[in-house]
Structures are given as structure tokens and as C-alpha cells.
Amino acid sequence: MEYRFLGASGLRVSAFALGTMGFGGAATGGWVATIDEHAAREQVRCALDAGVNLFDTANGYSKGESERLLGLALGPDRDRVLVSTKVHSRVGDGPNDAGQSRWHVMRACEDSLRRLGTDRIDIYHVHGFDGCTPLDETLRALDDLVRAGKVRYVACSNFAAWQITKALGISQRLGLERFVATQSYYSLVARELENELLPMCADQGVGVLVWSPLAGGFLSGKFMRDADAPGDTRRGMIGELGVGHIDVERGYATLDVAREIAHARGASVAQVALNWLRSRPEVSSVIIGARTTEQLADNLAAATWTLSPDEVALLDATSEPVRPYPTWYQRQFTAERSSRNGAPPGAFSYRFTTD
Ligand SMILES: NC(=O)c1ccc[n+]([C@@H]2O[C@H](COP(=O)([O-])OP(=O)(O)OC[C@H]3O[C@@H](n4cnc5c(N)ncnc54)[C@H](OP(=O)(O)O)[C@@H]3O)[C@@H](O)[C@H]2O)c1
């Protein structure tokens, strides 16, 4: 297993992490998280054996049951791995039972610690942007949790680039803990964050933890053009709901290329899609989700090989989305200067070549 630094921090995370959104048995957004305690223990063992050192959950997954099962399944191994969880989801009907107010963050953290059966959270995320709470209120609460020894690192999820930059500025001004990472949606069929978020993360030293790397299963390779998704799959149950819109035509063209690479490599399509994410220098860890232990073992086998630069370039070109302004226009400026004077230093300069 490869271990990467989480942004500019000194913390190393496995290139593949285990996501536990499927743990617990409660309905979440139209599909059922089917992984019970026995299966959770199996998945955690499988991940530990592969060298995974980061386990991701959230207080909202199966109404907290995912955290409880993760704590149980880790047992004594908890002390040698990293646990990340999140706060924001509604946990009750009260006016303060959701979001990122100081009141809710402090209480939700205590609840997560209790369910996880641990005395600290290694990476504590705010699950999304809370437009109803001033950022400095949330950042002060998170900082207090770090000072109290209940949280080691703070992070965000599903923020826009400007929201993270604003938060980093507040942290710097007030001397508070800064977001060490963002947990964001990224895959061969969802490359939006390349426009603003990834360059910002590279520039500011913010790590990237990728969620839904297979776009909810679409990139596993088991779905075919012109055929309905099998009903017993998550995609069959909820379609694109929950993982954004997919350009299906480009998606299937990308899958054709991924299938060819998978065939030549004797690997699965899912492994190709996961390894494409690992080829991105900005990505710290790819959070794998699996309904069965067999799927998990298949996905974790991606850690045993890497794509060649030519394979990455082919996948890049086939999956290249339409770029919004000002990305497409800025590229021309940087590309012209790079071709004359050589690429500027910086982790993402390779994205601005002329061809
Ligand atoms: N921060 C956030 O807002 C956020 C949001 C979502 C997720 N997450 C995190 O990211 C983790 C992963 O997300 P995800 O579960 O959506 O990941 P994903 O990789 O996009 O989708 C996983 C699903 O794809 C199918 N699949 C996976 N591997 C397969 C394989 N080898 N062969 C065939 N099918 C396969 C399975 O569903 P079927 O078998 O039913 O097809 C599985 O449940 C979550 O557990 C959670 O920790 C975070």
C-alpha cells in the first residue's frame, strides 16, 4: 500500500481508504445500507490486511449506526489506524439538531466519540457548507475540540474552492486550526473539481480525499449501454441520484477505454477507474465503497499496480469534459508561456500543456 501525505500536514494516509456509508442497515437517500456487523467486520479485516490506515464514516450514515459498527469492527486495531467522521447531518427534530453551530458541533462530536468507542477523532470533517452559521463560529468550535484532545485534524467536505480559501484565511487571521483536507466528489465521469478546487488545494496545501470514486458503481464496468441497471444494485435503486449528473455518452466511451486497459492488464474496470484517481498528485486518498467483501477485495487490488503515463493520457483525453470559463481561457495563457519558458513550478502545471 502506498501512503501519501495529507495535504501539507505530516500525516500519512493510505492511497485507498475504506468508506463505511454502506454500514448499518438504514435507508440513506433512497438506498439501503446493507452491511451488517458481520460483514462490517469482514470488510474492516480485508482493508487492514491490504494496509488501509484510514477509515471514513459520518454521524449521518445509518443514523450513527455506521460509526458504531466501525468502532466495533476495528476493536483493538483502532489505535493503529485513522478514523475520520463528519458533522452536519440532521440528528433530531430540534432547531439546533443539524448544521455547524458551536452548539451542534460540540454535541455531535461527543456523540460520535461515544458511538465509535474512542476518545479522539483523527480527521473531523464538516460534511458540507453551512450557509446559516458564520465560518469563524464553526472554526473556533473545531479548534476547541483539537485543544481539548478530542480531534486531531479538521477538514471539510463538499465545499467550493472559494469557501475553503475563505476558511483558510479566517484560520490564519484568528490563529485557529486550518482545514487539512477536503473530502470531495471526483472520478472519470466527474472532473468538475479540476477547474477550481484541485488547483486551489495544490496551491494551499490542502489534501484531497475522494468520495464515490466509482460514481456510485457506474465505473465498476458492470453497467451496459442501452440496458437498465440491475435492480439489486445501488445504481438500479437510485440512478444518478446522490452522485450528480453523468454525461452518459462520454461515460460509456470512457468505460470502453477502461475495459481495454483492464483486459490488457488482467485487472477489473473498477481498478482502472480507481487507479486513474491515484495518478492525480493532488489526491491524498481514494475512499472506496463496496457492498460486498468481494467487491472490496477487487477494488483494493488496485493498490498492487499503477497505470502507465500513456494509459492515464488516454483516459484523460476520452473523459475530458467541457471546461467552464475561465478555465478554458486561462489555459491558453499559461500554455503559451509554458511552451516558451518551460512549465512553471507547481503540482498542477502538467494540466496546462498545449496539446
Ligand atoms: N463526504 C461526502 O459527502 C460523501 C458522500 C458519499 C460518500 N462518501 C464516502 O465515500 C465512500 C465511498 O462512496 P461510494 O460508496 O459512493 O463509492 P463508489 O465507489 O462510487 O460506489 C460504491 C458502489 O459501487 C458498487 N461497486 C463498488 N465496487 C465494485 C466492484 N468492484 N464491482 C462491482 N460493483 C462495485 C457497489 O454498489 P452496487 O453493488 O450496489 O452496484 C458499491 O456500493 C463512502 O463509503 C463514504 O465514506 C462521502
**Residues 330-355: pLDDT tens digits?**
777 766 666 666 655 543 443 433 33
Ligand 1, atom nearest to 234 Cα: 40
Q: Which residues pair with 287 in a beta bridge?
A: 17
Average pLDDT over residues 133-150: 98
What pLDDT was estimated at residue 349?
41
Protein residue whose Cα sits closest to atom 45 of ligand 1: 19
Residue 144: inside a domain: yes
Is residue 269 located within the same domain as residue 293? yes
The catalytic residue positions are 61
pLDDT in tens, 194-216: 999 999 999 999 999 999 999 99
Is residue 342 located within the same domain as residue 223? no
Residue 156: inside a domain: yes
Ligand 1, atom nearest to 128 Cα: 3
Spacing, Cα 216 to ligand 1 middle (Å): 5
Going from the C-alpha of 241 to that of each of 75, 207, 245, 291, the distances in angstroms are 34, 26, 8, 17
Closest residue by Cα to residue 16 from 67, 56, 73, 71:
56
* Contact present, 152 and 121 (Cβ < 8 Å): yes
Average pLDDT over residues 115-132: 98
Average pLDDT over residues 2-15: 97
Q: Is the dihedral of CA 76, 77, 81, 83 positive or negative?
A: negative
What pLDDT was estimated at residue 341?
61
Residue 272: inside a domain: yes
- Cα 195 to Cα 223: distance, rounded to the nearest angstrom: 28
Q: Which residue has the higher pLDDT, 228 or 162?
A: 162
Number of domains observed in the structure of the chain: 2
Closest residue by Cα to residue 289 from 4, 105, 33:
33
Spacing, Cα 295 to ligand 1 middle (Å): 10
What pLDDT was estimated at residue 222?
87
- Cα 334 to Cα 349: distance, rounded to the nearest angstrom: 9
Is residue 50 located within the same domain as residue 92? yes
pLDDT in tens, 75-84: 999 999 999 9
Q: Which residue has the higher pLDDT, 34 or 169?
A: 169
* Contact present, 350 and 344 (Cβ < 8 Å): no
Residue 315: inside a domain: no
Average pLDDT over residues 118-127: 98
What pLDDT was estimated at residue 114?
98
pLDDT in tens, 41-73: 999 999 999 999 999 999 999 999 999 999 999
- Cα 218 to Cα 224: distance, rounded to the nearest angstrom: 9
What pLDDT was estimated at residue 352?
39
The pLDDT > 90 percentage for the chain reads 80
Is residue 86 located within the same domain as residue 142? yes
What pLDDT was estimated at residue 346?
47
* Contact present, 198 and 280 (Cβ < 8 Å): yes
Is residue 246 located within the same domain as residue 342? no
What pLDDT was estimated at residue 241?
59
Is residue 355 located within the same domain as residue 261? no
* Residues flanking ligand 1, CB < 6 Å: 19-22, 56, 127, 157-158, 183, 211-217, 220, 222, 233-235, 268, 270, 287, 289-291, 295, 298-299
Is residue 222 located within the same domain as residue 163? yes
Q: Which residue has the cell 468481494?
A: 294
Is residue 295 located within the same domain as residue 165? yes
Protein residue whose Cα sits closest to atom 33 of ligand 1: 220
What pLDDT was estimated at residue 104?
98
CATH number at residue 84: 3.20.20.100
Average pLDDT over residues 225-250: 76
3-state secondary structure the chain: CCEEECCCCCCEEECEEEECCCECCCEECCEECCECHHHHHHHHHHHHHCCCCEEECCCCHHHHHHHHHHHHHHHHHHHHCEEEEEECCCCCCCCCCCCCCHHHHHHHHHHHHHHHCCCCEEEEEECCCCCCCCHHHHHHHHHHHHHCCCEEEEEEECCCHHHHHHHHHHHHHHCCCCEEEEEEECECCECHHHCCHHHHHHHHCCEEEEECCCHHHHHHCCCCCCCCCCCCCHHHHHCCCCCCCCCHHHHHHHHHHHHHHHHHHCCCHHHHHHHHHHCCCCEEEEEECCCCHHHHHHHHHHHHCCCCHHHHHHHHHHHCCCCCCCHHHHHHHHHHHHHHHCCCCCCCHHHHCCC
What pLDDT was estimated at residue 242?
63
pTM: 0.94
Is residue 86 located within the same domain as residue 163? yes
- Cα 214 to Cα 36: distance, rounded to the nearest angstrom: 22
At residue 233 the predicted structure's pLDDT band, cuts being 50, 70 and 90, is confident
Is residue 207 located within the same domain as residue 332? no
Is residue 345 located within the same domain as residue 225? no
Mean of all residue pLDDT scores within the chain: 91
Residue 318: inside a domain: no
- pLDDT(230) > 90: no
Protein residue whose Cα sits closest to atom 25 of ligand 1: 217
Residue 227: inside a domain: yes
- Cα 286 to Cα 19: distance, rounded to the nearest angstrom: 9
The pLDDT > 70 percentage for the chain reads 90
What pLDDT was estimated at residue 29?
59
Residue 317: inside a domain: no
- pLDDT(86) > 90: yes
Q: How many CB atoms lie within 10 A of CB 169?
A: 12
Spacing, Cα 31 to ligand 1 middle (Å): 12
At residue 27 the predicted structure's pLDDT band, cuts being 50, 70 and 90, is low
Q: How many CB atoms lie within 10 A of CB 313?
A: 13
Q: Which residue has the cell 446559516?
A: 132
Residue 316: inside a domain: no
* Contact present, 198 and 263 (Cβ < 8 Å): no
pLDDT in tens, 278-287: 999 999 999 9
Task: For residue 4, give the C-alpha cell.
Answer: 501519501
Average pLDDT over residues 292-301: 97
Q: How many CB atoms lie within 10 A of CB 27?
A: 11
Protein residue whose Cα sits closest to atom 14 of ligand 1: 212
Domain extent for 336: 323-355
Is residue 233 located within the same domain as residue 335? no
Average pLDDT over residues 242-255: 86
Given ligand 1 and candidates 61, 291, 293, 296, which is best to mutate, with the most ligand atoms within 8 Å of its CB? 291
